[in-house]
Amino acid sequence: MAVDFPQVRDQVKKLGESAREQEQMLQSNRDRARELLELHAGNLEKLREKVQRVAQEINKNLRCAIPIEAGLRPPEPLDGHFPASKMPAQAVVLAADGSQIAPDRHQPVRYCLINVGGICIRHGQPLPPAIQVESRLFYGDELYTPTGTLTESTLALRRDLHERQMLLNLAQGFTLPVISFTDGPMELWGPREIETQGEFRKSLAEYLDLLRKLAQLGVTTAGYVDNPSADLVVRMLEVAGAAESELPQLHTNHPLRGVTDKMLFREFLGPGERSAVFGLQSHSVEQYRDELALHFFYLNVGREGHSWLARVEIPAWVAADPVQLDLLHACLIDQCRILGARPYPYALHRAHEVAVVSLQEKDQVTEMIALELRRRGVEPGDKSNKQFHKDHPGRTSFRV
């Protein structure tokens, strides 16, 4: 038995003893967050100025929501909630998702693979979804960067690029409206390793160029974050409620600790409703400029009595256009209803299904490479002893 359950049971008991007190503290913080949201609901310009001042003068790493720029779209109160409009008679819905096989030193051959699945749904037309899959193998010199070997985080970065490139490729030639989305944030996250930050900057430039091309095509695009745990709006409310003397301590002091945006918005967003659109205050603001500036809103894709919130990230060209924003809102509600009681965009679900790499497929790729090497007179390496003993008949899937 790997887990010492008597030890865990004692710790679970201690957890339970403090659970009620923790819940009471969390409820108090939730109530305070709601009070601050209502208090500053219409105080948008002053709150925006305060957040910007804190980010520029006190905490340059401040990451939180910020009221949307006045000239971008009509002001929406912080506690606003807006119903979905109807889907147009016809529209094109695109989704892309990817998976990867990372370099594995325990396998007899060294390689990695990115697999991206794309789905095209022609809403309002009696046509089945069109599926596209692109598989990209990296081997030999491609496994090395100028500063070392290809890491899993760098591979994930390339996968994100391939997903957005897939959307751009799929969007070519369609008549608007075209709605596209991927799973997860739109903000590109790079490897933490200092030696690979040059690769991140290069990838970011390519990524921003892809977004600009989507903007030029007039494509409505978004990133869909299911069951979000972020506290971007709550963090903004901490700034709003802090006295001037308290602002320097906010980088370590969290008066509303434990409260997430999801907790805050599910109290008043009805089924199908979205929140106000917020800007994003982050160190990445300097990279995402003009029509690419990042924004987001919260969306209740659940049903009566069973709320389910998602965060939807959008670029400025979508946030500024009421037609595109309403179209995206309506499309996501329509897509999530297809999957019933567990709402999630159907197109993204299908894209994931065609992109995911099974354990059997990974083994097949490994064997294909090994056979080709032997055919060319090159003997592949040996599977590590650790991997040999880990492999057993019970394994059925390859987790990425």
Q: Considering its fold, how many domains does the chain have in total?
A: 1
Q: φ and ψ at 269, to 5 degrees?
A: -85, 115
Q: Mean pLDDT throughout 25-52? A: 95
Burial label for 229, CB within 10 Å (0-12, 13-18, 19+), is exposed
Rounded Cα distance between 67 and 60, Å, is 18
> Strand 112-123 and strand 130-138: pairing?
antiparallel
pLDDT, averaged across the chain:
90
Across 75-89, 172-186, 236-250, 374-388, least confident range: 374-388
Does residue 339 sit within a domain? yes
- CA end-to-end span of the chain, whole Å? 26
Q: Label residue 202 by pLDDT band (50, 70, 90).
A: confident
Q: Note the pLDDT of residue 400.
A: 46
- The pLDDT tens digits of the residues spanning 298-336 come to 999 999 989 999 999 999 999 999 999 999 999 999 999
Give a yes or no: residue 29 inside a domain: no
| pLDDT surpassing 80 at residue 104 | no
Is 49 a domain residue? no
Q: Note the pLDDT of residue 266.
A: 93
By mean pLDDT, which of 76-85, 152-161, 214-223 is the weakest?
Answer: 152-161
Residue 369 has pLDDT above 90, yes or no: no
> Given this model, what pLDDT does residue 390 score?
65
Write the burial class of residue 153 (CB in 10 Å: 0-12 exposed, 13-18 middle, 19+ buried): middle
Looking up residue 128, the CATH number of its domain turns out to be 3.30.2170
Q: For residue 387, with 0-12 CB atoms within 10 Å meaning exposed, 13-18 middle and 19 or more buried, which class applies?
A: middle
Instruction: Please check whether residue 286 lies inside any domain of the structure.
Output: yes
Q: From residue 313, how far is each of 83, 103, 248, 325 by CA, in Å?
A: 18, 31, 29, 11
pLDDT at 59: 92
* Assigned token pair, 210: 């892809």
Lowest-confidence range among 118-132, 148-162, 251-265, 266-280? 148-162
Q: Which domain holds residue 199?
A: 81-355
Cα 305 to Cα 80, 265, 266, 269, 346, distances in angstroms: 20, 15, 11, 12, 22
Structural domain includes residue 259: yes
358 has a pLDDT exceeding 50: yes
- pTM (predicted TM-score): 0.90
- Cα dihedral 265, 266, 267, 270, rounded to 10, equals 100
Residue 327, CB-side half-sphere exposure with 13 Å CA sphere: 26
pLDDT of residue 195 exceeding 60, the answer is no
pLDDT band per the 50, 70, 90 thresholds, residue 191 = low
284 falls in which pLDDT band (50, 70, 90)?
confident
41 found inside a domain: no
Cα distances (Å, whole numbers) of residue 78 to 42, 201, 208, 236: 7, 34, 29, 11
Task: Say what the pLDDT of residue 22 is.
Answer: 87
Most confident of 147-151, 203-207, 281-285: 203-207
Report pLDDT digits (tens) over 251-260.
Answer: 888 999 999 9
For residues 10 and 17, the answer to whether their CB atoms sit within 8 Å is no
Does the residue 300 lie in any domain?
Answer: yes
Q: Looking at residues 198-203, what average pLDDT do you find? A: 82
DSSP result, 344-395: --HHHHHHHHHHPPPHHHHHHHHHHHHHHHHHTT-------HHHHHH--TT-
**CA-based nearest residue to 114, from 161, 174, 180, 184:** 161
Please give the pLDDT value at position 133. Answer: 95
**Each residue of 46-67: pLDDT tens digit?**
999 999 999 999 998 999 999 9
Task: State the average pLDDT over residues 148-158.
Answer: 82
pLDDT tens digits, one per residue of 238-281: 999 999 999 998 888 899 999 999 999 999 999 999 999 999 99
Q: Is the torsion defined by CA of 323, 208, 261, 235 positive or negative?
A: negative
Please indicate, yes or no, if residue 400 is contained in any of the structural domains.
no
Burial group, residue 259, by CB count within 10 angstroms (0-12, 13-18, 19+):
buried
